[in-house]
Structure 1
Amino acid sequence: MSQITLYLDDATQALVDEAAKANGVSKSRWVADIIRTYAAHDWPQDCLALAGRFSDFPLRGDTAKEQPTDVPRQSF
């Protein structure tokens, strides 16, 4: 198991102490849990549940036919 050193100001250290105590875990465990939560590469479950919920959301294949024609551009 690896170790890291964190330099925290007093107010932040107090927050870590209080949160770890409130959750009944060590400070190391609490910090590790927070890192796992916020550094994860997975989409949150509530976000995944939204997939397909918007019936009027255009899909990639549908957008080409629904796009307006482009306007003439100014040449430089």
Structure 2
Amino acid sequence: MGQVTIYLDDETEQKMIENARVMKLSKSKWIAGVIQEKLVDQWPDTVRELPGSWGDFPSLEELRAGESTDSEREAL
């Protein structure tokens, strides 16, 4: 198991200590949990279920219907 040394300002340290106390965790376990949360490599189910869940959202065809053709670019 690896060890890491971190430096915190006093205010951040006090907040961390209080959070760890409330969660009944050691400071080390609390910090490890925060790091593990940040290393999640997959979206939560609640986020993955969102696409297509808005019934009144316009379709791709409706969104593109108002588009015009691009203007020609100037020569450089």
TM-score by length of 2: 0.74
Show the 5 A alignment for 1:15-34.
15-34=15-34
1:48 aligns with: 48
Identity %: 32
Residue type matched to 1:25 in 2? L
Shift in Å, 1:57: 4.8
Moved more, 42-51 or 23-32: 42-51
Output the CA distance in 1 between the equivalents of 2:59 and 2:28: 44
Query: RMSD of the alignment, in Å?
Result: 2.1
Structure 2 counterpart of 1:12 = 12
Give the unaligned 5+ runs of structure 2.
Answer: none
Q: How many residues align?
A: 71
Change (3 A) 1:35 1:68: same
What is the CA distance between 1:49 and its match in structure 2?
1.6
Structure 2 residue identity aligned to 1:56: P
State the shift of 1:40 in Å: 1.5
Partner deviation per Cα, 1:29-49 (whole Å, 9 max, x = no partner): 111111111221211322112
